[in-house]
Amino acid sequence: MLLKLIRHNQHLAERRSPIYDKNRYAKVLVHLFAAFWAAYLVFIGVSLSIAFKEGMPHREAYDSLNGGLPLFLFIDFLIRFMLPLPAQEIRPYLLLPIPERKLMNALLLQVGLKLFNLFWLFLFIPFGLLTITRFYGLGGVIGYALGIWLLMVMNAYWSVLVRTLMRLHVGWILLPALLYGGLLAVELLADGMVSRTSMTLGDGIIRWSPLVYLAILAGIVILWHLNSLIQHAAIYHELSRKENARVKHVSGYAWMDRFGETGEYMRLELKLIFRNKATSTNFKTLTVILLLFALMLFGMTSDDELRQSPFIVYFYCVYCFCAYGVAILSRVMAYEGNYLDGIMARKGSLYSLLKGKYYLHCLLLVIPLCCILPSAIWGDLTIVFVFGMCFFTAGITLPMLLQLALFNDKTAPLTASLWGKGQWNSAYQSVTVAAALFLPILFNKLLASLLDETTGGVICIVLGAAGILTQPLWLKATCRQLMKKRYKMMESLRNTK
Amino acid sequence: MKIRIEQLKKCYGEKTAVDIPEYHIAQGEMLGLVGNNGAGKTTLFRLTLDLLKADSGRVLIDNTDVSRNESWKETTGAYMDESFLIDYLTPDEYFQFIGKIYGLDKATIDKRTGRFDRFMNGEIKGEKTYIRNLSAGNRQKVGIIAAMMHNPSLLILDEPFNFLDPTSQSALKFLLKEYNQATNATILVSSHNLLHTVDISTRIALLEHGSIIRDLPNENGAAEKELESYFEWKEEDISSEKED
């Protein structure tokens, strides 16, 4: 009864969340995303059955996969960091006349019954049907599916335990680090002992071995009990949890003063990026990817490889230059929706805001430029090509992304992750992002096939420079359009906060 | 600045949020806007600040239609709610940002915010804390100070006494009255607190279902009795409650 009530409330909260309720596109996208992953897991399951059969003929395919079960459990453990904890969900019910333990048990039960625990079966069932049926029949596959589900349930309780402890004190990160590090060490030092044990475990669940099932169930019960013990402390910790209120260092970015009012908005954009979870996580992740791509470009651009795989070179290069724009600028106005009334109540703010954003993202291009230039100086990329990409991004791609100001009408929370609620606004956003990433690749490919690479680079520089120089014109036009539809936009952004 | 409202109407579906055929607010007036929840106070302010599109009619500030020209924004200050605050800035950064948007230099901004030192009670200025981590009352103070910092000729504050402690409420009343007397600015304040509204306003407009049903002059608190009588929980309300 209590479980049903909690589930009903959670369902309503999801369905009626303003950013979801008003965003039909987000609803479709969520379902598409889930369907894509389900199909992808099926594909992996089928591919693995073939790969193991061909690659390891001396061993049954399911034995090979079972040997890698700890790896799947580790990936599942990492994915679960995105899910909420029972101690975070209990708050609305705490003052109701229901015993706290009963509430917590209902929430813990819900952790085990979550549909997410079944998601891996999209991989394991097709795999089992192709590899297990001929030895153990359908019963073997059913046992396999049941066993995998129980392992995922156990993993769910393990994940809740670790995450709850980590929220109490960050030092608890050592617990999973020691476990997974220990397993890896044992695997490497003890001649594959972990994978052999895992293989035996997998074999046991296929054969419906009572001992194996009892062992897994015992694991679930122990983890449930441990969770139940620590949740009481976790609830009070969650209730009194507060963001670290003190700022250690307040950056003034005084050098931006020379840009006048636009400089103020550039500074604001920089602080938007670094002081909010959504944007700062994106920025840091993208910087790491950008560095990796730049390193790969540096290592791989020998003449032969460039000729063999120009698409990869173009993709790495375009991605490096577009990354910040695609991840942050593509959410223009969606982030500003959090304080748009304050912006709109001041004269000319909208124009300065867009201008500041554009200038800052042009300046940010210095980072990929510095990362890729070594490949042009010491590697096989040409300077013209690199500058062509840089100018094309500044003059064509960024202005194109800024046009999303006219379409992004759902406020994106500044504290959510990139894949969190409200980060994807509309189909226009997805299409523009795809165009920002692939249009330059196609354009360069076309230029390279029609002309030589140097001429192509020069054309990109000229086009980009034209976009940069005509910035006052297109920016004012965008702003005029935005002012025309400001009421609709403001209302929508306000309603989705 | 003077305000003129002409045939202003705003509806949400069947519900009329604002319906004011004609209303004038003279330069230097301190208008208190009162009414129960859903009476249309916030909607009227949003329409005045061009943050909402009117279904019909218009608001003119110094004869400028607010939806057609932005010039009035330079001399208008407003604080409605937290959607006016950029909460990932510290209070000082926010003051500097807003000040510079209005063309003030750092020294002037420091001097102008200095007027509010007592109001801030040492908990805002110089604090290395993001606005989002301040208490609700201190966030309210940041918004009010930012709205007044550029010495606007028209100041619009929606429920400014909310979240403030009694001392700060009193300080705010004093600040608003003093500002009005010193600059002859027009001030529009909405509030559920009748006592404060009567204390500071020279005129009080009572809103009900989007219409101004009473326009009360308030020299020496003359509107108090009438407002009390309107908002009082009467015998007939109690009996209808019992019937329900």
pLDDT of residue A103: 83
> Backbone phi, then psi, for B34, in 5-degree steps?
-125, 160
CB-CB contact of A380 with A303 (8 Å): yes
CA distance B151 to chain A (A): 14
pLDDT of residue B99: 93
Share the mean pLDDT of chain A. 86
Residues A154-178: what's their mean pLDDT? 90
DSSP, collapsed to helix, strand or coil, labels residue B20 as strand
Residue B184: inside a domain, yes or no? yes
Q: Per this entry, what is the length of chain B?
A: 244
Residue B161: inside a domain, yes or no? yes
Q: How many CB atoms lie within 10 A of CB A341?
A: 22
Residue B39 and residue B17: Cα distance in Å, rounded?
7
Q: Binning pLDDT at 50, 70 and 90, where does residue A423 land? A: low
Residue B144: inside a domain, yes or no? no
Least confident of A266-270, A398-402, B38-42, B234-238: B234-238
* Chain B residues inside the 8 Å CB shell of A247: 90, 128-130
Residue B109: inside a domain, yes or no? no
User: What is the enclosing helix (H) or strand (E) of B10?
Assistant: strand B3-12
Chain A: residues touching B (Cβ < 8 Å): 242-243, 245-248, 250, 261, 264, 267-268, 271-272, 275-276, 338-342, 344-349, 352, 414, 487-488, 490-491, 494, 497
The minimal CB distance from B86 to the residues A246, A339, A487 is found for: A339
Least confident of A8-22, A218-232, A298-312: A298-312
Give the structural domain span for B231: 3-81+154-243
pLDDT digits (tens, 9 = 90+) for A223-236: 999 998 888 778 87
B75 touches chain A (CB under 8 A): no
Q: Return all residues near A128 (Cβ < 8 A) that are at least 6 apart.
A: A62, A140, A141, A144, A145, A206
Residue B198: inside a domain, yes or no? yes
* Chain A residues inside the 8 Å CB shell of B50: 344
Q: Domain count for chain B, please give it.
A: 1
Q: Got the DSSP string for A274-307?
A: HHSHHHHHHHHHHHHHHHHHHHHHHHH--HHHHH
**Contact between chains at B86 and A268 (C-beta distance less than 8 A):** yes
Q: Binning pLDDT at 50, 70 and 90, where does residue B238 land? A: low
pLDDT of residue A245: 59
The minimal CB distance from B84 to the residues A271, A275, A341 is found for: A341
Residue B113: inside a domain, yes or no? no
Residue B21: both structure tokens together: 């055929």
* Chain B residues inside the 8 Å CB shell of A347: 70-71, 73-74
pLDDT of residue A339: 92
CB-CB contact of B234 with B68 (8 Å): no
What's the CATH number where B189 sits?
3.40.50.300
pLDDT digits (tens, 9 = 90+) for A54-83: 888 788 888 889 999 999 999 999 988 878
Residue B145: inside a domain, yes or no? no
- Closest of B107, A56, A155 to residue A163, by C-alpha: A155
Q: Establish how many alpha carbons lie within 13 A of residue A471's alpha carbon, considering only the half-sphere containing its beta carbon.
A: 19
pTM of the model: 0.79
Residue B212 and residue B210: Cα distance in Å, rounded?
7
Spell out a b/e string for A115-140, using b for 16 or more CB atoms within 10 Å of the CB, else e: eebebbbbbbbbbbbbbbeeebeeeb
pLDDT digits (tens, 9 = 90+) for A200-254: 999 999 999 999 999 999 999 999 999 988 887 788 777 776 666 567 666 777 7
pLDDT of residue A18: 62
CA torsion sign, B196 to B201 to B203 to B205?
Answer: negative
pLDDT digits (tens, 9 = 90+) for A91-118: 777 777 878 788 888 888 888 988 889 9
Residue B15: inside a domain, yes or no? yes
Residue A284: both structure tokens together: 């840091």
Least confident of A19-23, A391-395, B39-43, B155-159: A19-23
Residues A35-44: what's their mean pLDDT? 91
